[in-house]
Chains A and B, each alone.
Chain A
Amino acid sequence: AQRVTQPEKLLSVFKGAPVELKCNYSYSGSPELFWYVQYSRQRLQLLLRHISRESIKGFTADLNKGETSFHLKKPFAQEEDSAMYYCALSVSGTYKYIFGTGTRLKVLA
């Protein structure tokens, strides 16, 4: 079965510190993975997708098929990064999108 695991419910870091939000997945096919973010009082929105290999707001995420991971990283956290982050998996051939349990990131001043 497909599964997305985010082991940390809450991650607190100080402003300027590096951030890594962990995401592991279980999927038998070739995965398409995403990070979605929900800022306070805003809608859930796409942050980045692995296939684009892009950097958005300083965040990057590399797909590691050997470790079945897609961790989200940023070298220097900013207070405006405080939000709820969800890792998601697209199930090939079905258009189902499975989300993880989410990690709340708090960036402290």
Chain B
Amino acid sequence: DAGITQSPRHKVTETGTPVTLRCHQTENHRYMYWYRQDPGHGLRLIHYSYGVKDTDKGEVSDGYSVSRSKTEDFLLTLESATSSQTSVYFCAILEPGQGVSGELFFGEGSRLTVL
């Protein structure tokens, strides 16, 4: 497995509470991503990062913020969790290709339940 870990792997929280998910990589790759996976919607990009302190929005960024203060860590924060944010969250890192698009390596996922 690529050196990418997510924590926590499972979390149950209540509506209105803040939640932070952590993605940690040991590969020193520049690009990191947060996706959410929902039945019927597939994988949707929340935010991604192209370097330390460099981030950009994805398709479904409302209600989420991210931070990347170190190459190895990419944090996803739900400032005030809502039930619609119940999902499985995947972090990914991009291993660059040689003259072609790189390959995404995914973490194992973090299952978040907002009651």
Contacts and interface: CB of A to CB of B under 8 A. Distances in A.
Interface residues of B, number: 26
Interface stretch (A14-22, A39-47, A57-65, A67-75): A39-47
A86 to B, nearest CB: 6
B90 interface: yes
Given A46-B103, A52-B100, A96 B43 contact: no
Nearest to B44: A99
Contacts of A44: 43, 90, 92, 104, 106
Contacts, number: 58
Contacts of A9: 40
A90 B33 CA distance: 13
Given A44-B106, A96-B45, A98-B59, A49 B100 contact: yes
A97 B108 CA distance: 18
Contacts of A32: 100-101
B43 A102 contact: yes
A96 B48 contact: yes
A97 B90 CA distance: 13
A32 B99 CA distance: 12
Query: Does more than half of chain A's interface fall in helix, strand or loop, or is it mixed?
Result: strand
A51 interface: yes
Contacts of B48: 95-96
Contacts of A102: 42-43
Given A36-B104, A43-B108, A51-B101, A86 B43 contact: yes
Interface of A: 6, 9, 32, 34, 36, 43-46, 49, 51-52, 86, 88, 90, 94-102
Q: Which 10 A-B pairs have the closest CB atoms?
A: A101-B42, A99-B43, A44-B106, A102-B42, A90-B101, A32-B101, A46-B103, A43-B106, A51-B100, A95-B31
19 contacts: A32-B100, A43-B106, A43-B107, A43-B108, A44-B43, A44-B104, A44-B106, A46-B104, A49-B101, A49-B103, A51-B101, A52-B100, A86-B42, A88-B104, A95-B31, A95-B48, A97-B45, A98-B59, A100-B42
